Amino acid sequence: MKMVALLRGINVGGNRKVPMPKLIALIENSGFTAVKSYINSGNIVFEASTLSPEQAGAKLERAIAKEFGFPVDVIVRTAAKWKKYASGSPFPSAASIRPKMLHIGLAKDPIKGDITDGLMEKALHGEKIAIVDGAIWVDFAKSVGKSKLTPAVLDKAAGSTVTLRNWNTVVKINEMLNE
C-alpha cells in the first residue's frame, strides 16, 4: 500500500538536520519500498506491505530517533486519503490565487470534536479555516508568519501534533503517488 509520511520540524533554521539521502536509506533499511522524498522538509512517499499508517509512523519515529538522536513526529496517511485531499480544498480560489498561503494541517491523532470556532478566535488576519475529512485547512490569506495560528495553537486545538503543508506540496505529493 502506498503511503505519505510527513515529518514535522526537520531542517528548519539549521536545526534537527535530517539529510534526505540518509533518511531515504534509513526508511528503505526499515523495510519500506519505493521510497521518494519531496524537498528537504520531510515529505516522503513509500510503500508498506503489512502495516497500518499508525504502525508505519511509529516504526519510522523509532528508526529516526535511533539514527539521528532526536525525536521527530511522523504523520502518515494512505495514498487514497491523500488523493482525497488533493482533489480539492475547501478554498478553491486560494488554491489557484495563492497556493503557498493555503495549507493543510494533519494531526497525528484523530481530531476530537469541532475545533473550527476555537481556531477562528485566533484568526486575526483574515484567515479562513475549515475541517474536512479529518484535515485542518487554513487559508492564511495575508501571511503565514504573522498569523496567530501557530503550530502550538493547532496542536492544542487538535489534541495532538499537527504538521502543515502548503497546497503546492499537496499537489506535488499527489503527482508522486501517481508516478
Q: At what angle do helices 20-29 and 53-68 cross, to 10 degrees?
A: 120
Count of other CB atoms within 10 angstroms of residue 22 = 12
CATH 2.30.30 fits domain 88-178: no
Q: In this predicted model, what pLDDT tens digit does every residue of 48-101 receive, in sequence order?
A: 989 999 999 999 999 999 999 999 999 999 999 999 999 999 999 999 999 999
- pTM, to two decimals: 0.94
| Residue range 2-80, CATH number | 3.30.70.1280
Is 51 exposed, middle or buried (CB count within 10 Å of its CB: 0-12, 13-18, 19+)? middle
Q: Which residues pair with 74 in a beta bridge?
A: 7
What tens digit of pLDDT does each residue of 101-120 get?
999 999 999 998 889 999 99
